[in-house]
Chains A and B, each alone.
Chain A
Amino acid sequence: MSPERGEALVRKLALFGRVLRSAGAEVGPGRLQDAVRALEVVDLRSRDEVYWALRCTLVSHEKDLDAFDAAFAAFWERTAPLPDDEATPGLPTPSESGDEGGDPSADRTAPAQERTLLVSAADEEGGELGEQEPGGMAWSATERLRELDFAEYSPTELRVARGLMERVARAAPMRASRRLEVAHDGRRLDKRRTMRASMRTEGVPLARQWRRRRLVPRKLLFLIDVSGSMEPYARALTMFLQAAVRDGGKVEAFTFGTRLTHVTRELRGHDPDRALRSAARVVPDWAGGTRIGDNLKTLNDRWAPRGMTRGAVVVIASDGWERGGAERLRAEMIRLHRAAHTIVWVNPLAGDADYKPLAQGMSAALPHVDHFLPGHNLRSLEGLADVLEALPAQGRR
């Protein structure tokens, strides 16, 4: 390769990297360097070899392959342009005032979605819970907030609740790891440390050292119903979800309505507004219908084979209004229950003292649920945290 041509190629490659980044793939300078070196060993006249050389150096996730293919075609072959990022259908938002609720298409515009799903700083003006309130008042307001039904939250209250949720969201069920840790009351002999300690007693292993199995967080899956009937609660629950997955670890988050969406990656990160916004972009079925059975089937078919549900604690937040068949829901609950460690069902409607699980879907699912809890206010989410932390580390349920 002549130096001029080489330089032109590097520049073009850098541009291609930018295209890929805008399509959502992570492409750093290190990767581009690899790509340049890879291009040196392949035949540049061969479209296939260039394609593979770039693909293996620039992509590192199976899920980015489609974006890469589209970008490759658009950039190097000048075919159809990339889909416009702005045109991605966003998360239509639960509108708190009636003025735009009637027209679903109005909700699909980007500014509207950002305004309503997120509780932005602008909402603070109208709220009754300003930050200037004295301590005593704030405490009682907090107490009131804990009992208040999520459906009755104002945007400002939701914002305050976020701080309270973070405490609850850190609850993590534990399980015994295969890894051992040093422990005086352990039951496994620590040969290495016993030998070391025996040096002090002239090679006679007088004091034995022990280890035991370490406790690590158990996999925790949250499935949040974002269908129309759950609309008043979905916003608060999504916020709870964000607090739960924020720091990474073993927590996975899904939303479901008419389809199951994996939102863990989108919800990660310490800026809740940004996280919720990017989640809003990928959830296509906000405030639509519910097919719980079909969604669980997707979970069992697509995610379970990769070990997502095996030994996990699965928390499903839904009112159990099923528009698919109850039979399918029952069958999929059985499959899920077989793989999972514990299934917890959080139902916002169960906060009502007179609640009976009459919804067809709910009564089909209930026999396969280990813990059935209300989920209509902060107090009940604290109850969820208590249940999660009390789960035993070893054995099933």
Chain B
Amino acid sequence: MRERAYLADRGLATVLSVVLALRKPLLLEGEAGVGKTECAKALADVLGARLIRLQCYEGIDVAHALYDWNYARQMLYIRTLEAADAAAPDTVDDVFGRDFMLRRPLLDAIENDDPVPPVLLVDEIDRADDEFEAFLLELLSDFQVTIPEIGTIRAAERPLVILTSNRTRELHDALRRRCVYHWIGYPSVDREVAIVQARLPAVPERLALQAARFVAELRGLELAKSPGVAETLDWVQALASLDERELEPELVDATLGTVLKYHEDLERAREHGLDELVAAARRADAQ
């Protein structure tokens, strides 16, 4: 995983080995921006598997997630046959054949001939509604789907499934029961520095360390949305692009918008005193 610039701590590493052994879906929860989606990407890369991503949203349904018919193509085909006067009794079967099917991520994951079973990432499952969750539950239990016109399709080899949730909605217990669960918290300062360095090798270590300490301080304030690792990375990149080698209060003030995304949070951080926070981050560095 390290090669892919994804640093898993011992907990996540153990959990992933359990998931691989049990061949059960993994449910990852955690605050936004702690690397849930990245984890799936890195895992697919390490396994040499294809990553199939299904981004959930409110109102997602079978036609978006599993398959749909290509109606326009069906129409064209029928019209062409009519014009050529070539319509035959089995035209209907043709029209509802695989050539006219739009394969969506879930079907793609089930029906594959990859050498390595793919990694199916069901991102932000909490955004989909209950009905879709129930459908997914059924799919995850036996990895087969029935399409009336074609028949039952079963996965030759089960894909590795990773679900992520930001907890905008409580997931149903039945779904949780099917999964191995892992909660990803914010990393420690040392680990965050390591993550920054793995992701952005060009950044000076001093800057990475100070930024990580600063962000850790911010997480200690009562903010509406604490910054995640993604925000730290954005911020360090922004600072590095300005050729900064150390945190300076003015520049922190100017670039804080990459870390804190709410007006109230920015106010709060400024009230608390940016100078102080910067000084604390730098002082700790000197020790």
Contact = CB atoms under 8 A, between A and B. Distances in A.
Contact of A34 (B78, B129, B176, B180): B180
A12 B141 CA distance: 29
B283 interface: no
Interface stretch (B105-113, B162-170, B189-197, B242-250): B162-170
A266 B68 CA distance: 42
A37 B181 contact: no
Nearest to A31: B177
A56 B180 contact: yes
B18 A191 contact: no
Interface residues of B, number: 43
B24 interface: yes
B168 A307 contact: yes
A38 B20 CA distance: 10
Nearest to A37: B22
A26 B173 contact: yes
B257 to A, nearest CB: 18
B183 A62 contact: yes
Interface string A47-74: 0110111011101111001000000000
Nearest to A219: B169
B135 interface: no
A60 B181 contact: yes
Given A60-B179, A179-B61, A37 B21 contact: yes
A38 B18 contact: yes
B203 to A, nearest CB: 29
A57 B59 contact: no
A301 B222 contact: yes
B181 A56 contact: yes
B22 A34 contact: yes
Contact of B129 (A31, A42, A177, A301): A177
A356 interface: no
B63 A52 contact: no
Interface of A is mostly: helix
Contact of B173 (A48, A59, A60): A60
Contact of B14 (A28, A49, A61): A49
Given A179-B61, A306-B166, A48 B14 contact: yes
B222 A30 contact: no
A57 B181 CA distance: 6
Contacts of A304: 224
A56 B78 contact: no
B177 to A, nearest CB: 6
A257 B37 CA distance: 39
A146 to B, nearest CB: 35
Contact of A52 (B14, B71, B166): B14
Nearest to B63: A192
A38 B21 contact: yes
Contact of A300 (B11, B75, B82, B224): B224
Contacts of B75: 195, 203
Nearest to B14: A52
Nearest to A194: B71
Contacts of B181: 55-57, 59-61
A52 B15 contact: yes
Interface string B61-86: 10100000101001100100010000
A289 to B, nearest CB: 21
Contacts of B206: none
Nearest to A297: B222
Contacts of B138: none
A40 interface: yes
B212 interface: no
Given A195-B71, A301-B224, A57 B21 contact: no
Of the listed residues B180, B182, B222, the one surrounded by the most CB atoms of chain A closer than 10 A to its CB is: B180
A379 interface: no
Contacts of A31: 177
Given A41-B17, A300-B224, A306 B182 contact: no
Contact of A42 (B14, B180, B225): B14
A335 interface: yes
A48 B18 CA distance: 13
A5 interface: no
Nearest to A180: B59
Contacts of A55: 11, 15, 181-182
B177 A178 contact: no
A83 interface: no
Given A31-B177, A34-B180, A53 B78 contact: no
B10 A57 contact: no
Interface of B: 10-11, 14-15, 17-19, 21-22, 24, 26-27, 29, 57-59, 61, 63, 69, 71, 74-75, 78, 82, 129, 131, 166-169, 173, 176-177, 179-183, 222-225, 264
Given A56-B15, A195-B71, 9 more contacts: A34-B22, A48-B11, A52-B15, A56-B182, A62-B29, A178-B57, A179-B61, A179-B131, A180-B59
Listed from nearest, the 5 A-B pairs whose CB atoms lie closest are A178-B59, A307-B168, A60-B176, A52-B14, A41-B21
